[in-house]
Structure 1
Amino acid sequence: MGGDEGGNERHEGAGQEVRYSAVLIAGPTASGKSALAVALAQRFGGVVINADSMQVYRDLSVITARPTREEMGDVPHDLYGHVNGARNHSVAAYVAEAAALLAELATQGRLPVLVGGTGLYFKALTEGLSAIPPVPEAVRADFRAHAAGRTTGELHDELAVRDPEMAARLRPSDRLRVMRALEVLAATGRSLSSFQGERQPGPLAGQKLLQIFLAPERELVRERIDRRFDAMMAAGALDEVSALRDRRLDPLLPVMRAHGVPGLIAYLDGQLSLAEAVVRGKADTRAYAKRQVTWFRHQMAGWHAVAPEAGLAFALAELALRD
């Protein structure tokens, strides 16, 4: 059996009891996760909870493939599209929201079905987070102004002087992580590395969890990504990205780096043809799907790897109450 072997809670929905506290469904993008989540929530009277870091943003529904009303199938969905794109929605903020929701569902006896492709979200829910205090917005804004116009190499050199241990852990080309390390140092006076051994337990720690990783063939994922990107373009993805571009947000915000967004903004700015932007969006998404598979293979023990076409049968067999 995979998953945590904690309490033996039973949820009842649609006349059936299950022997897990929650179901977690992960997998690369375009692997059929949302459809499986809806099918299970329908069967057991559950609630689908988003665990995708891009689908939290209100600004982007089409380009992030957020489930449509029809795809939701009259099943309650939560933590989708509730965050203003101007905010940097951190893992800690997501965990706080999810913890409150999970506590509420527990009082109702509803089965949580968490679904998404963001490994850090699942890891934080099950294993906890490093106890890094939030960086105040004023400190963040001051640092962003300080970093503007400076190369990533220059920022890494600054980190190497002020925090050599953390600098040694980061690639000199990884601007986001270098800036994160410098922001934490500015806000707390402590190295980011000093917090990483201090961990707060996640809201699902110690619970009995059914953890499923949908693992389609690589070529099938590529084909699905390409077809889905074309479908998103036909459904208005360019208009959505154009509206986001008009907000003139900080390009380092997560919403500005959603797969497909940078290429389409480059097209709107006259830097790429539309065909080139689409090719870039598909390539970025395929590369991300590959990273997702690698992440779960190396970081998330205890997950059941299942072919998408076998996912529902496997989940139903696991969820059935056994005396």
Structure 2
Amino acid sequence: MSGIDKSGRQAGEGRVKDAILIAGPTASGKSALALDLAERQGGVIVNTDSMQGYSVLDVLTARPSADDMARVPHFLYGHVHPSKAYSTGAWLRDVTRLIAEGSLSGRPSVFVGGTGLYFRALAEGISDMPDIPPSVRERWRYELKEQGAERLHRILMHEDSAVAMQLRPTDGQRIVRALEVLDASGRSILDWQAARGKPLIDRASARFLVIEPDRGELVARIGARFDQMLDKGALDEVRQLMALDLDPDLPAMKAIGVRELQAALAGQMDFAEAIERAKIATRQYAKRQATWFRHQLGPEWQRLRPGEEPAIPD
């Protein structure tokens, strides 16, 4: 998409001008900062978190409240049913659609979340993978359960040895992914990966922010927030998810807190233990996120403490 934004600058190649990217671990205050900046600058907010895209799990994924979402336009929150496996490529296509529709034109776009691969795809581009028909996806998942990863690895070695040689025979998820791409498109996943996409933002005008909270402070915030989630109906959300009878390997079923609270509801552990385990899992996840951001984000990213004002003019 080409065009002129309201500042009079060319927005060629569908790239978003003056984007603000806000990354950080869970419970670090990203959403509050995004709301403040978007409101002050008359902007919009785009979800950049893999779990907050799923419906049903409003509370358990810490999605913005209805009141917050009414203050400025929010996009890509709760638009994916938990029965779907939402990917980085699917998210990038959704952002591309927003650009094509003009939803991000003429006002600052604030991308906020904790999924590092989404930020990388947004700023650097990724290879565009083919859509996999449900019948193809279901076939190879069934074959994995029936035959096992090592048998499928031998099939892949026969059909696409270049890929198979890069994968461990026990890595069922990646083996199935390679087979379903080959089955759906007739091309090796390596061919698709080699065709790198284009960034969706104009890096020269973008602002890159990452929140780096103190470890002790973050632990306290995580504990308090999970208690608030329980008060706001997290258990009811898990009950709704259980009623859907979904495949436990789907990404939404792996949202932190789901398995722990599901076990408590099933009588497999008491609620106090389930709550503590969920808090521990959240802390471990936050640590992995912080490590990824520290090592993968370049010098263009401004490092902030929670509550610190970024160097962005109004």
Residue 140 and residue 294 in structure 1: after superposition, are their counterparts in 2 closer, same or farther (change >3 A)?
same
Question: Percent identity among equivalent residues?
Answer: 46
Which shows bigger deviation, 225-234 or 147-156? 147-156
Tell me the CA shift for residue 42 of structure 1: 1.2
Per-residue CA deviations over 1:226-273 (Å, capped at 9, x if unaligned) read 221121112111110111011011222111111111222222333332
Q: TM-score, normalised by structure 2?
A: 0.86
Partner amino acid, structure 1, of 2:139: D
In structure 2, relative to structure 1, the CA distance for the partners of 1:268 and 1:42 (3 Å cut) is: same
Q: 1:179 to 1:227 in 2, by over 3 A?
A: farther
Cα separation, partners in 2 of 1:264 and 1:143, compared to 1, 3 Å: same
> Residue 319 of structure 1 aligns to which amino acid in structure 2?
P
Give the letter for the 1:260 counterpart. G
Letter in 2 for 1:261: V
Q: Which runs of 5+ in 1 are unaligned?
A: 1-6, 12-19
Give, as a single letter, the amino acid of the residue that structure 1 aligns with 2:266: D
Instruction: Show the counterpart of 1:130.
Output: 127
Greater alpha carbon shift after TM alignment, 115-124 vs 153-162: 153-162
Q: Partner residue of 1:187?
A: 184
For residues 279 and 115 of structure 1, do their structure 2 counterparts lie closer, same or farther at Cα, with a shift above 3 Å needed? same
Aligned residue in 2 for 1:97: 94
Question: Where do 5+ consecutive residues of structure 2 fail to align?
Answer: 9-16
> Counterparts of 1:136-285 in structure 2 under 5 Å?
136-149=133-146, 151-152=148-149, 155=152, 159=156, 163=160, 165-167=162-164, 169-170=166-167, 174-285=171-282
Alpha-carbon distance in structure 1 between the residues aligned to 2:244 and 2:200: 35
Question: 1:16 maps to what in 2?
Answer: none
Evaluate the alpha carbon distance shift between residue 60 and residue 165 of structure 1 in structure 2; reply closer, same or farther with a 3 A threshold.
Answer: same
Measured after TM superposition, the shift of residue 164 of structure 1 is 5.0
Using the TM superposition, name which of 155-164 and 242-251 deviates more: 155-164
- Tell whether 2:299 aligns with 1:318: no
Distance 2:245 2:220 in 1: 33
The structure 2 residue matched to 1:111, chosen from 97, 108, 112, is: 108
Partner Cα distance (1:169, 1:135) in 2: 22
Q: Residue by residue, what CA displacement relative to the aligned partner does 1:207-244 show, whole Å, maximum 9, x if unpaired?
A: 52101000001222222112211211121111101110
Deviation at 1:170, TM superposition (A): 4.5
Q: Closer, same or farther in 2 for the Cα pair 1:268/1:85, shift >3 Å?
A: same
C-alpha contact (below 8 Å) 2:23/2:30 kept by paired residues: yes
> Distance in 2 between the 1:159 and 1:230 partners?
47
